[in-house]
Amino acid sequence: MARNKLLVPGADNALDQMKEEIANEFGVQLGADTTARANGSVGGEMTKRLVAYAEQTLQNHQNQ
């Protein structure tokens, strides 16, 4: 996991699982031997999906 402190304790397992799923979708083998571009593409996709999830959650709360 990244060196950044998590805002939600216990979220590390879910984030690691998401990272592995995206890496598998992209055909990227995560690790030190992988290029920064390949590793970065996984991180970028994680960010996109997390933002989309947050937007959807916010919209659902507003509609309640």
CA distance 39 to 47: 13
**Total number of domains constituting the chain:** 1
* Structural tokens at position 54: 């947050």
Domain membership flag for residue 52: yes
Query: In terms of Cα–Cα distance, which of 3, 54, 49 is closest to 22?
Result: 49
Which structural domain, as residue segments, surrounds residue 39? 34-64
Domain membership flag for residue 64: yes
Domain membership flag for residue 14: no
The model carries a pTM of 0.82
pLDDT confidence band for 63 (50 / 70 / 90): confident
Predicted pLDDT of residue 64: 82
Mention every residue, 6+ apart, whose C-beta is less than 8 A from residue 46: 15, 18, 19, 22
Mention every residue, 6+ apart, whose C-beta is less than 8 A from residue 30: 19, 20, 23, 39, 42
pLDDT in tens, 6-58: 888 889 999 999 999 999 999 999 988 999 999 999 999 999 999 999 999 99
Predicted pLDDT of residue 21: 98
Domain membership flag for residue 45: yes
Domain membership flag for residue 54: yes
